[in-house]
Structure 1
């Protein structure tokens, strides 16, 4: 009855199924592994963050350039505050506000280090941001790599008014000052004035991001696709087998209608 599976038409269908199912399973497994990798990265980042908080403070120069090991480490630098900028639309504890970033001209380097002095709620306003301390200061905070567009939901926020930037990034800041800017920044352990400190893991986009759960969703989709392909194959095989059986019995559509019309009506 199932000899039709060896016909050229069915060979094409069978080959498609034999290729489609493993591909779907492979893609689903790959997406699952991506989700597991992101979970592991999040776990490792949390452990690293805890270790960084307990680690001794180190000079800025010894931690550059920023990489996976030095990101989040507590660094110290000495210099004088210069230009102050605001970074709008930053969330903290489910509230929207803005970062207050001041460039610290590090002694003996001719370069400036962006320092996130704290966070304030509400719409970004220079009037709300406290002025930086005057004279020589020594800052201590968690070291971060420059932000990039798209990372952790960061956008360039184009069309901002003067005194505001969309990212804490050397590429963005170097166009606003007449000196070089470190390709890194720090968020102070203790915020200045009435501002709230920005946790290191928050500035890094702490927690599992949307991409991780997209990977998990894609995992389910690929396995559903594999099941759907098998379901449709079995359905087609069953319909073909039933059609051949009816044909062998002479029960084509017209024959079946004639048989039904000629069948005697049973009376109770």
Structure 2
């Protein structure tokens, strides 16, 4: 009954079916890798919230170059590590990061370099503040940074992708993306290769700042894609089997082809 499967036509259909199913399985595997990667990120975010802070140098390698250079990027497992470091803020080189949204409001995140005793610096995201009256890009009134020694506790945040331009507007550095290497070129000291998302500091931070929330990645969306692609692969194979069985039943006379209605004689009128 199934000798027709060896015909060129059906061998071609089989080849296309297997290729399509294989591609769908590979797409499912790719989404599975993304699901695992995003799950690991979420686990590191949760672990960073619970852990006791470690010294900065346990998570980040100090920059070894001169002014304007950047240290190595953190190892993947060190991103979101909670660290502590003591230094002095340099408010003259504060960076305004525009177009940042918190609680559905657009404003600025404020990055201020914390200069360590050895002359290196780490950028600290002190938090979010609303713009000045006049629009979302109106420069805000930035609360003054504490003077003297400041102890910061924050989480390691890798540099953001993209190479957004860094401008000076009214004497202040301003950008759209926190691209640490690009920002470092505007600063008079070597800078660590990641920035810190402030959790707490001593002396206490100005209450004007709103803590920047850390969102979890949507790993379950990727898991849904895994199931979707694998189901499609299974349905493709099942569809081939269904079509082959139907063709075999027709060849055996068990199932007739649909009548060609165009070939039926037209009904004639009668008394």
Per the TM superposition, whether the score is higher than 0.5 is yes
Do structure 1's residue 234 and structure 2's residue 247 form an aligned pair? no
- Residue 103 of structure 1 is aligned with which of 92, 101, 113? 113
Do structure 1's residue 131 and structure 2's residue 139 form an aligned pair? no
Q: CA deviation at 1:31?
A: 2.4
TM-aligned CA distance change 1:30 to 1:175, over 3 Å: closer
- Residue 220 of structure 1 is aligned with which of 228, 231, 241? 228
Partner SS state of residue 167, structure 1: coil
Do structure 1's residue 184 and structure 2's residue 180 form an aligned pair? no
Question: 1: distance between equivalents of 2:45 and 2:89?
Answer: 33
- Residue 196 of structure 1 is aligned with which of 200, 209, 219? 209
- Segments of structure 2 that go 5 or more residues without pairing to the other structure are 62-73
What value does the CA root-mean-square deviation take over the aligned residues? 3.9
More helix by share: 1
Partner SS state of residue 15, structure 1: helix
Question: 1: distance between equivalents of 2:108 and 2:193?
Answer: 21
Do structure 1's residue 89 and structure 2's residue 109 form an aligned pair? no
Comparing 180-189 and 11-20, the one that deviates more: 11-20
Question: 1: distance between equivalents of 2:192 and 2:112?
Answer: 13
What are the Cα deviations for residues 41-100 of structure 1, in whole angstroms up to 9, with x where unaligned?
A: 42x224412332xx1x44433432343246331312222424111011222233322111
Question: 1: distance between equivalents of 2:45 and 2:191?
Answer: 29
Larger radius of gyration: 1
- Residue 60 of structure 2 is aligned with which of 64, 76, 92? 64
Q: CA deviation at 1:161?
A: 5.5
TM-aligned CA distance change 1:28 to 1:172, over 3 Å: same
Does the CA contact (< 8 Å) of 2:109 and 2:129 recur in 1?
A: yes
Q: CA deviation at 1:20?
A: 3.6
Question: 2: distance between equivalents of 1:10 and 1:234?
Answer: 13
Q: Work out the number of aligned pairs and report it.
A: 244
Q: CA deviation at 1:245?
A: 6.3
Comparing 224-233 and 164-173, the one that deviates more: 224-233
TM-score normalized by structure 1?
0.71
Question: 2: distance between equivalents of 1:165 and 1:104?
Answer: 18
TM-score normalized by structure 2?
0.70
Do structure 1's residue 13 and structure 2's residue 9 form an aligned pair? no
Q: State the partner residue of 1:141.
A: 153
Question: 1: distance between equivalents of 2:126 and 2:178?
Answer: 12
Question: 2: distance between equivalents of 1:58 and 1:261?
Answer: 89
Question: 1: distance between equivalents of 2:37 and 2:197?
Answer: 27
Write out aligned runs for 1:23-42 (5 A).
Answer: 23-32=23-32, 34-42=34-42
Q: CA deviation at 1:103?
A: 1.5
Partner SS state of residue 57, structure 2: helix
Question: 2: distance between equivalents of 1:233 and 1:160?
Answer: 63
